[in-house]
């Protein structure tokens, strides 16, 4: 087992070998009308909270950035070397029809070093493979991403959704943004993360956002329910290899959404459920519903401090733990919705914010594209 390696001396404890708690900064920007913005704003926002990170991890999720390839799954993959790349590409070719494969453009900057090979592939599952797997398309893609991450040594899929992408590295988030030339991308939603781990992760895959298909999570906190959540979600085909809170939160959200069919609002009621003292006062029907959530899905209750931003196709969700043990502020102006660890991170990009509030513990804030904007995103016109 990998955990034993850490005792041998000089080997750095990487993500997945040991569990590393971390504090963090998060920020998210969302245009409900689907207006496409450059990545400049989100970089500016997260850079205000420089003190909340320590240069050991930063990253972004961007939605609506690949309209020309919106039908295709966009795989962002780290390869440690060419051997890994060849093995990984062989696997991809066996399972997917790849319409584009290229380097992700980066800019050399002194603050970001030791980069792996960073590749992007636009692809669709091979029809025959998909049919014989008897899985639906998204499950097939998710399974393939798991396979690569687990079985192909040196390759790591860090983004696998359609018309969206994750960009992350070891470094301060604003440097990571520059490195990835984020200002050159245009999307309707960006989330960002700056990390303050208490140990040296030393590995790019461990940075946030964490993603599966189009669902991405950035997270600030250290959840106390981690191992209870992990051991439960692993039963349903989500091997947790990174030992991070973010990974387990992302899988829980994916499971409850994609496998159980819960809406994001319902997911909030499960992972940040109301206290029994509140439930006991509810009208009968509502009480029964929450009692059901808290008994049948009790293993997905998340306790301990967290504030998360979840990006998904056409939406963004902000959520705090039920005691609000981590700061998070939300704001709106016109069609724009903002959420960040600190109000300053919103005001720096929108000084004329119309409404700013601190969502209470367990209260989810969900921004969604207006229906016509969603239509347009899906290629209606």
CA 128 from chain centre, in angstroms, equals: 30
Q: Does 15 bind other proteins (CB under 8 A)?
A: no
Residues 35-64 close enough to bind other proteins by CB under 8 A: none
Distance from C-alpha of 193 to C-alpha of 195, rounded to nearest angstrom: 6
Applying CB under 8 A, the span of 79-87, 141-149, 298-306, 346-354 interacting with other proteins comes to 298-306
Place of tokens 């404890």: 13
Per CB under 8 A, 283 contacts other proteins: no
Active site (annotated) includes residue 268: no
The binder of other proteins chosen from 40, 186, 291, 335 (CB under 8 A) = 291
Question: Does residue 341 touch other proteins according to CB under 8 A?
Answer: no
Interface positions, 207-236, toward other proteins (CB under 8 A): 221-229, 231-232, 234-236
* Given 260, 282, 353, 366, the residue binding other proteins (CB under 8 A): 260
Distances (CA, A) of 218 to 124, 229, 259: 26, 17, 21
Strand order in the sheet with 73-79: 96-103, 117-125, 73-79, 155-159
Torsion sign, CA atoms 259, 265, 270, 271: positive
CA 174 – CA 182 distance, rounded (Å): 10
In the complex with other proteins, the residue whose CB is nearer, 278 or 354, is 278
By CB under 8 A, residue 266 contacts other proteins: yes
- Between 155 and 220, CB nearer to other proteins: 220
Contact between 141 and 39 under an 8 Å Cβ cutoff? The reply is: no
Q: Using CB under 8 A, which of the segments 63-71, 137-145, 260-268, 338-346 binds other proteins? A: 260-268
Kindly indicate which of the ranges 9-17, 50-58, 114-122, 275-283 contains the residues binding other proteins, using the contact rule CB under 8 A: 275-283
Least distance from other proteins to the Cβ atom of residue 222, Å: 4
How many residues touch other proteins under the rule CB under 8 A: the total is 46
How many CB atoms lie under 10 A from the CB of residue 295?
8
* Residue given tokens 């931003």 in the structure block: 309
**Whole-angstrom Cα distance, residue 380 to residue 232?**
39
257 part of the interface to other proteins, by CB under 8 A: no
- Which C-beta is closer to other proteins: that of 24 or that of 192? 24
Q: Which residues contact 337 (CB under 8 A, 6 or more apart)?
A: 29, 30, 32, 316, 330, 331, 365, 367
Nearest to other proteins of 142, 152 (CB atom): 142
| Residue 54, SS3 per DSSP | coil
Report the alpha-carbon distance of residue 117 to residue 65 in Å, rounded.
21
Residues annotated catalytic, as ranges: 24
User: Could you list the residues that contact other proteins (CB under 8 A)?
Assistant: 3, 19, 21-23, 198, 221-229, 231-232, 234-236, 260-262, 266, 275-277, 288-289, 291-299, 301-305, 322-323, 325
């Amino acid at each position: 087992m990998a955990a034993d390696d850490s005792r041998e001396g000089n080997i750095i404890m990487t993500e997945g070998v040991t569990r590393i708690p971390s504090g963090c900064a998060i920020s998210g920007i969302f245009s409900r009308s689907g207006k496409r913005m450059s990545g400049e704003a989100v970089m500016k926002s997260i850079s205000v909270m420089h003190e909340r990170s320590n240069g050991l991890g930063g990253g972004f999720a961007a939605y609506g950035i690949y309209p020309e390839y919106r039908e295709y799954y966009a795989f962002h993959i780290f390869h440690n070397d060419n051997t890994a790349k060849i093995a990984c590409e062989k696997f991809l070719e066996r399972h997917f029809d790849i319409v584009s494969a290229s380097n992700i453009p980066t800019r050399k900057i002194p603050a970001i070093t030791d980069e792996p090979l960073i590749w992007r592939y636009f692809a669709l599952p091979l029809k025959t493979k998909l049919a014989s797997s008897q899985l639906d398309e998204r499950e097939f893609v998710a399974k393939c991403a798991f396979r690569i991450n687990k079985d192909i040594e040196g390759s790591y899929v860090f983004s696998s959704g359609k018309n969206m992408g994750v960009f992350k590295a070891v470094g301060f988030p604003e440097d990571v943004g520059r490195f990835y030339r984020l200002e050159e991308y245009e999307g309707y939603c960006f989330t960002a993360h700056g990390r303050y781990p208490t140990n040296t992760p030393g590995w790019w895959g461990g940075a946030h956002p964490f993603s599966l298909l189009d669902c991405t999570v950035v997270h600030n906190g250290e959840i106390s329910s981690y191992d209870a959540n992990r051991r439960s979600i692993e039963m349903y085909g989500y091997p947790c290899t990174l030992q991070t809170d973010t990974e387990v939160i992302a899988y829980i959200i994916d499971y409850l959404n994609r496998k159980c069919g819960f809406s994001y609002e319902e997911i909030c009621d499960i992972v940040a459920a109301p206290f029994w003292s509140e439930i006991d006062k509810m009208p009968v029907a509502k009480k029964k519903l929450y009692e059901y959530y808290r008994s049948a899905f009790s293993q997905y209750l998340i306790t301990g401090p967290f504030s998360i931003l979840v990006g998904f196709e056409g939406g963004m969700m902000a959520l705090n733990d039920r005691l609000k043990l981590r700061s998070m502020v939300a704001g709106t102006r016109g069609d724009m919705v903002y959420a960040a660890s600190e109000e300053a991170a919103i005001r720096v990009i929108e000084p004329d914010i119309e409404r700013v509030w601190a969502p209470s513990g367990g209260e989810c804030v969900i921004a969604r594209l207006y229906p016509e904007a969603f239509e347009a995103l899906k290629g209606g016109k």
